[in-house]
Structure 1
Amino acid sequence: MMATRTRRPGDPLAAAEAVFKRKPAPAVQAQAPVRSAARETVTLRLERDVLDHFQADGPGWQERINAALREAAGLGGAGDTGKRPEELDASNDD
C-alpha cells in the first residue's frame, strides 16, 4: 500500500499564527516637536461683541480670530499663512 500524503504539512494553527505575528516596531528616538499646519476643531465660547467684531469683515473670521490669539500668545501672529489678519479671508480655509 502507498502511504497517503497530506496537503497540509505541520500544524495549520501554528502556520496561521506565524503569518500574523508582527515584529515589534523599532524604537523611535525622541525628536523635537514639529509645528504642524493641522487644525483642530474646538468649541469656544466668545462674547457676542467679540464675535461680531471678527465677523464684520465677512468670510475668514475664524482665521482672523486664530491670528489674533496667536499674536496675543506671542506665537507669531498669522501663523503659517504669512498674512496679516486683515488679509485673511475664506480663500485661506483648509
Structure 2
Amino acid sequence: MPTDDEDTRINQGIALDPDSPELTETDFLRAQEARQAVPSLANVRRVRGPQKAPTKTLVSMRLDPDLLARLKSDGPGWQSRANDILRQAVGL
C-alpha cells in the first residue's frame, strides 16, 4: 500500500493528466452502451484464426461423468490440466 505522501503524489499526477480526465456525473449520465455508441461493431463476432503450426491433435474419448466433473471443477483450463495429468501418468 502506498504511504500517504505517495498517495497524494499519485492523485496529483492523475489530476494533472490531460489524457485521463476524471469522469463527472454528467459524463456517466451521457454514457451509452458500446452497441449504441458504435452500432457497426455491435454484431461483429471475433473468430480465432487458424493456428500457424498446430501443436496438438484433436481426439475424442469417453470419460466417466464423475471424472469429467472433477476435472472441470477447477475451472477454465481443465483440458490442459488433463493433458498434464496424462503426460505424467505415461512418464513424459
TM-score, structure 1 as length reference: 0.40
Task: Give 1 or 2 for the bigger CA radius of gyration.
Answer: 1
Normalized per residue, which structure has more helix? 2
TM-score, structure 2 as length reference: 0.41
